[in-house]
Amino acid sequence: MQAVTWQGKRNVQVETVPDPTIEQPTDAIVRITSTNICGSDLHLYETLGPFMDKGDILGHEPMGIVEEVGSEVSNLRAGDRVVVPFQISCGHCFMCSEHLYTQCETTQVRDHGTGAALFGFSTLYGQVPGGQAEYLRVPQAQFTHIKVPDGPPDERFVYLSDVLPTAWQAVAYADAPKDGTLAVLGLGPIGDMACRIALQRGVERVIGIDLVPERLERAQARGVEVIDLREHEKDLGAVVREMTSGRGPDAVIDAVGMEAHGSPLGKLAHQLTSLLPKKVAEQVMEKAGVDRMAALYSAIDMVRRGGTISIIGVYGGMADPLPMMTLFDKQIQLRMGQANVKRWVDDIFPLLTDDDVLGVESFATHRVPLTEAPEAYEMFQKKQDGAVKIVLKP
């Protein structure tokens, strides 16, 4: 089969690799019909190379048709149409019973002390072959699937794999009051969708902040108040407070994470790490990694006293400096973590009707063949051609 493979920093290639097969009785094989490039994939493309090996298959936002199931998978059969969540979870352990599917005790990657295994996401999360491919082996398939009906186009449902539940959790964790204000830092796929969900759930004011014109225009067209970071990078907190009675928003979503614009020391650390031998770089990242923290610092500065920061952008540093005095003094609540996909599916599904209130069918900016993945990664990483969300078609 054809698959998108990691070959090095800023180097992905489409290669012919062996078709996956049933390895465990809880496996299923899915023929992929649509698969997306995620902002998290860019962390592998740019930053997390020490945890990657040449030939690793990327991707964690796929959907398709079940081709084959293992002997212990009784709730799927060949021909079922499914979305595959980005995390692999069993559905029956203690953590799964608490709806913390990203902490599944069956698939936790204990060698690295991390949570549930993820598709296509480095040795840190199990090095499980990902879904940017023609076929995907799905472990723990009795739970790691979302059945969807035949008929509507893939783009009605494919974002259930990551974008929709991740944005939904970000908004739920932010818990902005309906008569309040929510600020969203970063209007990439997650930030954009979080704005849409917040407005749909009745939050009175949503302020979106980014520095890419096309992203600002997309959000503004759906009723989001926008701030162009290029014009207010040095006085962002003051501008937001001026818009919110001098207090700041009730809640802030950080949808940017580790590769924030405007963090020169963090950027330098990332660049230096990429020059180290793989094993040394891996140890440095695990024990002394430092992220580019500009987005989180901005969130801490702008949120009102007693407010909430919901962190959904991915961070990976083990030595990130936090302004603890400010966090304590402002009595800020922090909530964060990978999205527990299936916890939110029942809430989201009623919105994926023909009315398409969240605009999922027009959400993608680019739809390209799987064979054009290398060009698509470069375009997405460089924010070229208005790229916000890219769907790959095997």
CATH label of the domain that carries residue 230: 3.40.50.720
**pLDDT for residue 318:** 65
Kindly state whether residues 7 and 147 are assigned to the same domain.
yes
pLDDT tens digits, residue range 112-146? 899 999 999 889 999 999 999 999 999 999 999 99
pLDDT for res 260:
52
- What is the residue range of 332's domain? 166-336
182 and 40 inside one domain:
no
**Do 303 and 219 fall into the same domain?**
yes
Shared-domain flag, residues 208 and 230: yes
- Looking at the fold, whether 322 and 356 belong to one and the same domain comes out as no
Instruction: Say if residue 230 is in the same domain as residue 369.
Output: no
Give the pLDDT confidence of 63-81 residue by residue, as tens digits: 999 999 999 999 999 999 9
Domain with 136 in it: what CATH number?
Answer: 3.90.180.10
pLDDT score at 258: 73
More confident position, 318 or 300: 300
Question: How many domains in the chain?
Answer: 2
139 and 253 inside one domain:
no
CA dist 381 and 345 (Å) reads: 29
| This prediction's pTM | 0.92
Residue 51 has a pLDDT of: 82
> Do 355 and 281 sit in the same domain of this protein?
no
